[in-house]
Amino acid sequence: MHKVARKRFNQFMKQRLGHFMVEIDPGPVGPKELILKTAVLGEKSVQEKTNPDYYFMSGYIGMLSWMQILKRYSFNLRTASAIMELGCGSARLIRHLRCIDGIRLVGADVDPDNIAWCQLNVPGIEFNVNDLRPPLLFAEDNSFDLVFAASVFTHIPLETQHVWIEEIYRILRPGGFFLADVLGSYHQRQMLNREDMDCLKKNGQLVLDAGDDRASLSTQLIGSWDVFQTRQEVLRAFGSVFYVHDYLPRGLDLLILQKLSLYGHEGSDKQEQWL
């Protein structure tokens, strides 16, 4: 199954990159114990998430869909010089961007085990462990064209969310993009009861910690948090720093954000629709 996804991803990247595309070996699948730490909602999904075919298929499809979205905003993969994934886990996603010739790729995660495995098994990417709070010591101001964080703000408690959003703003170049997803109505239906929903509506936010039996299996295993916010709260948090191009309802709701260029007020009138 993942071979079809790989072909579609490669075709898309070839179209975008032309001779700036290089053939790469996708490398090994992340080990089960690391995947369990990163992406498993409950016991039922353990088998699926740790299946190598699913691992690669979801990696190709995930990266393809985010690259297709960026194309709509004229993000130029050929001229981009640096891309970072925050919360890269076992590099399920960012590993596929090694097909972009000459680009600097950086993966960061708070989990030293995932980063140690990536350093040994996924060449061609700089990997760093970061703290639960910024700064990202390896990242200079204005140094990335794109930062993405897949299922990461879903685990960043609200008291540190704002400092992370500001940190990503700091390291992006003016005009750079930030893609991040958050838990939306799909996961609210899956994980929350009526009382939780009332609480979420009332407070704009709800956090399940690792001790809570409704929390995802990964959260319970690593002592993390599952963070729910209303759409209004998400827009307040991200939109007060970034220009919000779109906020797409999906399995995980996706934010397409941009650090405006120094003189650019591109669509600042449109921003009002979100805030």
Ligand X SMILES: C[S@@+](CC[C@H](N)C(=O)[O-])C[C@H]1O[C@@H](n2cnc3c(N)ncnc32)[C@H](O)[C@@H]1O
Q: For residues 83 and 145, is the Cβ–Cβ distance under 8 A?
A: yes
Which of 13, 118, 125, 152 contacts ligand X by CB under 6 A?
Answer: 152
Q: By CB under 6 A, is residue 80 in contact with ligand X? A: no
Q: By CB under 6 A, is residue 39 in contact with ligand X? A: yes
Size of the site for ligand X (CB under 6 A): 20
Q: By CB under 6 A, is residue 93 in contact with ligand X? A: yes
Tell me whether residue 27 or residue 175 sits nearer to ligand X (CB atom): 27
Least Cβ distance, residue 96 to ligand X (angstroms): 11
Q: For residues 49 and 39, is the Cβ–Cβ distance under 8 A?
A: yes
Question: What is the rounded distance in angstroms from the CA atom of residue 264 to the CA atom of residue 166?
Answer: 19
- Taking alpha carbons only, the member of 87, 95, 77, 96 closest to residue 38 is 87
Which of 67, 88, 115, 254 contacts ligand X by CB under 6 A?
Answer: 88
- Taking alpha carbons only, the member of 269, 228, 274 closest to residue 255 is 274
Least Cβ distance, residue 109 to ligand X (angstroms): 4
The torsion defined by the Cα of 174, 171, 116 and 95, in degrees rounded to 10, comes to -10
Least Cβ distance, residue 130 to ligand X (angstroms): 5
Segment interacting with ligand X (CB under 6 A) among 144-152, 188-196, 228-236, 239-247: 144-152
Q: By CB under 6 A, is residue 168 in contact with ligand X? A: no
- Taking alpha carbons only, the member of 117, 136, 134 closest to residue 125 is 117
Least Cβ distance, residue 195 to ligand X (angstroms): 26
For ligand X, what does the binding mask look like between residues 98 and 127, x meaning CB under 6 A? Answer: ----------xxxx--x-------------
Question: What is the rounded distance in angstroms from the CA atom of residue 81 to the CA atom of residue 184?
Answer: 32
Segment interacting with ligand X (CB under 6 A) among 1-9, 21-29, 86-94, 185-193: 86-94
- Residue type for 174, please? P
Give the pairing type, strands 205-209 and 243-248: unpaired
Give the pairing type, strands 252-258 and 172-183: antiparallel
Which of 6, 92, 98, 259 contacts ligand X by CB under 6 A?
Answer: 92
Phi, psi of 5, rounded to the nearest 5 degrees: -65, -40
Least Cβ distance, residue 95 to ligand X (angstroms): 10
Tell me whether residue 77 or residue 94 sits nearer to ligand X (CB atom): 94
Least Cβ distance, residue 273 to ligand X (angstroms): 29
- Taking alpha carbons only, the member of 218, 269, 213, 252 closest to residue 41 is 218
Which residues of this chain interact with ligand X, rule CB under 6 A? 38-39, 86-89, 92-93, 108-111, 114, 130, 132, 150-152, 155-156
